[in-house]
Amino acid sequence: MKSPGPERAKIIRVTEQHLPAMAKLAGVIWRACYPGIISHAQIDYMLARMYALDILREEIRSRRIRYHLLLVDGKPAGFASYGPTSVPGVMKLHKLYLLPELHGRGLGSRLLQHCEREVRAGGARGLILSVNKRNAQAIAAYRRNGFVITESVVTDIGAGFVMDDYLMAKELAG
């Protein structure tokens, strides 16, 4: 199937009014993409911790995390977020998700490149991210977009769950 053209796909900055639709989209994407990578119980636990509306509002208001929503034919189809780190000039890509039926059409790369332009315009010279070690599709996509694995980390997130991730990084050209 052909990739949606620029007239059909658009990226917008998320405001608080978009948060309910984005949280719902996260649930659809996670439940479609993460079984086999993490347990259903961990999916539910992480969705509750990361996509509760009060958490999302706090990230936007207080933590300076920016969200961008990908619309295809006017409907939410994916999203990304990024924010500052403790290292000057380095931003972290916190989230980048796309409906699975749209994978392989360049839309995830388009969303990622949009975020790269945004953080570069804000003065960042580097972008980092975490990705589950078992998420081969995402790791390959990040590699295609110039990211390299820099570290392997296991983080206890409570309730008996861990995030078993690779840290990846990319230097951004000026």
Give the model confidence (pLDDT) of 41-83 as tens digits. Answer: 999 999 999 999 999 999 999 989 999 999 999 999 999 999 9
The backbone region for 17, taken as left when phi is positive above 0, alpha when psi lies in -120 to 50, beta otherwise, is: alpha
Query: Side-chain half-sphere of 52: how many Cα atoms within 13 Å?
Result: 8
Predicted local confidence at residue 19, as pLDDT: 96
Predicted local confidence at residue 173, as pLDDT: 79
Which residues have a Cβ under 8 Å from the Cβ of 144 and sit 6 or more positions away? 109
Residue 173, amino acid: A
Q: Which residues pair with 168 in a beta bridge?
A: 129, 149
Q: For residue 143, what is the enclosing H or E element?
A: helix 136-144
Q: What is the DSSP letter of 38?
A: B
Tell me the CA end-to-end span of the chain in Å, nearest whole number.
Answer: 35
Architecture of domain 9-171: 3-Layer(aba) Sandwich (3.40)
**Burial (CB count <10 Å: 0-12, 13-18, 19+), residue 48:** exposed
Residue 48, amino acid: A
This prediction's pTM: 0.92
Tens digit of each residue's pLDDT (9 = 90 or more) over 136-167: 999 999 999 999 999 999 999 999 999 999 99
Domain edges within the chain: 9-171
State how far Cα 109 lies from the chain centre.
11
Judged against a pLDDT cut of 80, whether residue 1 lies above it is answered with no
